[in-house]
Amino acid sequence: MTLQKNLVEHASSVAYSSVVVTTAARLFYHLIALLVLISTATAIGAAESERSIAQQRKDFLAAEQALQLGQQKQFQRLMKNLQQYPLYPYLRYQQLKHRISRLDADEVTGFMRAYPDAPVSHRLYRQWLRTLAKQRHWKLFAEAYTQTRATDLRCYYRRALLNSGRKREAFEGIEKLWLVGRSQPQACDPLFAAWRKTGGITETRVWQRFALAMQSRQLRLARYLVRLLPGKEQRVARLWLQVDKKPDLVVKHTRFNPEHAQTTALLTHGLLRLVRKQQETAISAWDTLKSRYPFTDEQRGQVERKLALALVTDGDERALPRLWSLAAKHENSAIREWRVRAALSEGNWYAVLESIERLSPQERQTERWRYWQARALEKLDFAEDADKRYRSLAKHRDYYGFLAADRAKTPYSFEDRPVSYSTQELQAITHLPGVERASELLALNRLLDARREWNQLTAGMDEHSLQLLAKLAQQWQWHGQAILTLGRTSFRDDLELRFPIKYDAQVARVSHSYDIDVAWVYAVMRRESAFVKDARSPRGALGLMQLMPRTGREVAKRQNILINDRRQLLNAETNIQLGTAYLRQMMNRLGSNPVLTIAAYNMGQYRVRRYLPSSGAIPADIWVETLPIKETRAYLRAVLAYTAVYELRLGLVPTPLWRRMPDISSLPVQLSKKEL
């Protein structure tokens, strides 16, 4: 049990190090602050005797290369002189990783004890556990394992228990691993097979997971699960898969057995799919099916909400009555908010006020609905009450605050208070091991590892410590991390930190070339990437202005810029030029309307045109609020507000938002989808 005790102590300190790091950080930087004051002369003397950091970096890179080439003597010689270098743990990690299959527990424990707060400690531990599992050293694995979020390791641990004769422990709580709507790692397959042999994977559990897989559209998993069902049940599951592919099959209700336990779940799934493809058919089918089958309250709520929201999205006049007719038990925040938006779309200001009253107390107090309440009162000629509400909202430095200030004809509120800190505090926190490692990784342009260090360091820290670290990142010109770190606190008033001005010469040049406001380019960049120059979105967008590779290549071709590799889009200068050129392209195609241009940058111009009015004009604030796409609504609010903030940061007089928000109307030229 000594091994397990040691590994539990030290592996846990890595896996759950936030509390340890937080406490250690506070004590450490206070101690360092004291030492800095009483031992300056000693520190200076020591600094003079140390090898230069530049030489250490050079030796570090040489040591890595020597290890890769198998030059052990050269590696050991270089490593010996790097023991005080912040990235020494990374060399030790690479050294141990090279012989991971031969490591013993003492070596792993020793490394974790030496560097409990370093991400490489936990990385080595996980890799070692996986190696033990592949080598089937189950006894040692079971002794060494500590709780982790890694699914494959959780499955390996249960397999280790099984192979150690601890079957009851192995299967205890296994439902959490089984009942997920996605395929689990291959490490779990033997575990589930063993559980199935004991009768653990019952018909009910198969159906539960099948339903989760269908909800997640994990059809390959669903088809696999069909094979685990009895013959008669397989027919129902296959019918469910057919309905997923052709949801209009729900109209043929005679095919569905009202007595089967899965029928209403199957029909609910089909109806939710049908709403997206054939709205009228879905409404008609639901009116028939809801009285013939025993749908649960939850299922009825799902379908009713989906139908109502689909009508809103299409601007259907039946939307508001349908939203109002929903039973209170079927309401949620989305329904309550879309009730207001549907009233806004119709220009029914009495219904706007009534819908706002139906919001929860917490929802009514948000700036969004306070603004629209004031707008409704203004439209209904309650000018004094509306003005009072506008002036209260205008104290806020955000989209709704700026809109309210425009309505009240008052200046924008730009409260700007830098993070408060002492030089001693900042100097002390600079000496934390994690900070030193992050700094060196940045110097070597190893951005991913630098972020890992930073994330480990900041986990669980208190607000003031996070503010200090945000300020430190700002001083390093690591603006993305400064913004994200401060964003984890409640403090929002350091405008220089939150809205940095970087790449100023490049932004000024391309903004002038494409006749786009500098502040606007910065606002888009701030929203898109928060100045993380190597940012990659889950959808594949790249760089500071988050260009999709296809879009980047198309814009580059028009600008006579050769793009051979998508990685070129991560170059700051290239990305800024192409992103700004794309903004100008959207402006030219969308009637020079800033709101439509911003929306198109986010969701594409074809979708923007889809939501334009067929006739007449809509006030821009209403158009923004009633856009069906939540992400684009948030994007528009952010970019418009950030543009005003950046004008202030650039020493300009902020342009009122209303000047950037002309009414939205149909466009005279409709491009084909292919051209778009």
- What pLDDT does residue 255 have? 79
- What pLDDT does residue 44 have? 47
Q: Smallest Cα–Cα separation from 274: which of 305, 244, 239, 315?
A: 244
What DSSP line would sit under 25-67, residue for residue? HHHHHHHHHHHHHH-HHHHHHHHHHSPPHHHHHHHHHHHHHHH
Whole-angstrom CA distances from 452 to 121, 219, 590 are: 12, 34, 42
CB of 335 closer than 8 Å to CB of 308: yes
- What pLDDT does residue 315 have? 82
Angstrom distance (rounded) from CA 599 to CA 85: 48
- What pLDDT does residue 23 have? 41
- What pLDDT does residue 313 have? 86
Low-confidence ranges of the chain (pLDDT < 50): 1, 8, 10-49, 671-676
Whole-angstrom CA distances from 304 to 242, 266, 314 are: 23, 16, 16
- What pLDDT does residue 42 have? 44
Angstrom distance (rounded) from CA 380 to CA 386: 10
CB of 107 closer than 8 Å to CB of 144: no
pLDDT tens across 48-89, in order? 345 589 999 999 999 999 999 999 999 999 999 999 999 999
- What pLDDT does residue 227 have? 97
